[in-house]
C-alpha cells in the first residue's frame, strides 16, 4: 500500500496505525506489517507499507531509487542537519551567487561519499547514533557510498534553495544540505523535505492514514 506520511509522524507510527486499524477491522491478532524505507518525522511523502506475505518484498522496494523535493536554508547550521535541533552557528551569505549554487549541486552527481548525520538511526556500538547525540556524547560516523542520479535547483530565493533530487537508497538528504552549505562557505540545513517517488511508485497515487480508515477499510469486505 502506498501512503502519504504526514509531517511529524515516524515511519513506525504509520506501521502501527495500519496494523491496529487492520486488526480492528479484520479481528486478526497476528499480522505482519512493515515499511519499505524510513522517512524522517520532519519529512512528509511516500512510504510503502507491506502486510502479510508482501513483507517478503520489502527489501526489493528498499533497493529502488528515491526522489525527493525540498528546501535548503543557507546561512546557518544545526547539529541534526535539519530543523529537529536549534541553530548552532550562523554564517554570511552575501558572497553566494546563483552560479555558485548550481555548480555546487552539480558536484554531487554520481557516486559520492557522505557522512550520515549524528542524529540518525544508524547503530554505533549497539546503540542508535541519535541516542549518543541527544546525550551530548561524541560519536564517530563512518562514511558511506551513495549515488546521486540528478540534483535540480528549481528556485533560489532569500538564500533558500528549492530542489528536486533522485538518489540511491541510504542517501541522507540532510547530509547533502549540510555539505552544500560547506561548499558555499555559508552553512546550510534542510528546512523542508517530501518524498515524491520510490522507483515507479508515486506519492500522487498514495493515500493518507485518514483515507485508509475512512475510505479503504470502510469498504473492505471480510
Percent of the chain with pLDDT over 90: 77
Task: Give the burial class of 177: count Cβ atoms within 10 A of its Cβ; 0-12 exposed, 13-18 middle, 19 or more buried.
Answer: buried
**Inter-residue contact 39 to 196 (CB < 8 Å):** no
Q: Looking at residues 101-121, what average pLDDT do you find?
A: 92
Instruction: State the Rg of the chain over Cα.
Output: 19
pLDDT at 134 over 90: no
Helix or strand holding residue 70 (H, E): strand 66-74
pLDDT digits (tens, 9 = 90+) for 184-216: 999 999 999 999 999 999 999 999 999 998 887
Among 4, 40, 82, 179, the active-site one is 40
> Which domains occur in the chain, in start order?
2-63+200-219 (3.30.2350.10), 67-196 (3.30.2350.10)
In the residue annotation, 40 being an active-site residue is answered as yes
| pLDDT score, position 124 | 78
Distance, CA of 67 to CA of 80 (rounded, Å): 21
pLDDT digits (tens, 9 = 90+) for 59-104: 999 999 999 999 999 999 999 999 999 999 999 999 999 999 999 9
What cell does 203 get?
A: 506519492
Tell me the sheet residues that pair with 44: 194
Nearest to 151 by CA among 117, 107, 113: 107
Mean pLDDT of the chain: 92
Amino acid at each position: 500500500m502506498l501512503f502519504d506520511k504526514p509531517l511529524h509522524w515516524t515511519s513506525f507510527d504509520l506501521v502501527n496505525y495500519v496494523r491496529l486499524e487492520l486488526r480492528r477491522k479484520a479481528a486478526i491478532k497476528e499480522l505482519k506489517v512493515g515499511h519499505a524505507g524510513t522517512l524522517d518525522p520532519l519529512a512528509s511523502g511516500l512510504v510503502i507499507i507491506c502486510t502479510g506475505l508482501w513483507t517478503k518484498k520489502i527489501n526489493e522496494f528498499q533497493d529502488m531509487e528515491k526522489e525527493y523535493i525540498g528546501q535548503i536554508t543557507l546561512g546557518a547550521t544545526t547539529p541534526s542537519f535539519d530543523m529537529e535541533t536549534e541553530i548552532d552557528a550562523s554564517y554570511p551569505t552575501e558572497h553566494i551567487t546563483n552560479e555558485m549554487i548550481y555548480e555546487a549541486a552539480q558536484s554531487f552527481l554520481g557516486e559520492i561519499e557522505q557522512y550520515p548525520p549524528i542524529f540518525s538511526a544508524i547503530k554505533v556500538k549497539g546503540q542508535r547514533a541519535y541516542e549518543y547525540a541527544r546525550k551530548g556524547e561524541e560519536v564517530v560516523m563512518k562514511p558511506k557510498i551513495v549515488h546521486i542520479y540528478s540534483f535540480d535547483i528549481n528556485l533560489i530565493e532569500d538564500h533558500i534553495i528549492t530542489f528536486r533530487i533522485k538518489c540511491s537508497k541510504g542517501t541522507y538528504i540532510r547530509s547533502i544540505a549540510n555539505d552544500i552549505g560547506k561548499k558555499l562557505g555559508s552553512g546550510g540545513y534542510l528546512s523542508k523535505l517530501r518524498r515524491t517517488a520510490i522507483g515507479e511508485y508515486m506519492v500522487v497515487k498514495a493515500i493518507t492514514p485518514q483515507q485508509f480508515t475512512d475510505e479503504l477499510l470502510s469498504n473492505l469486505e471480510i
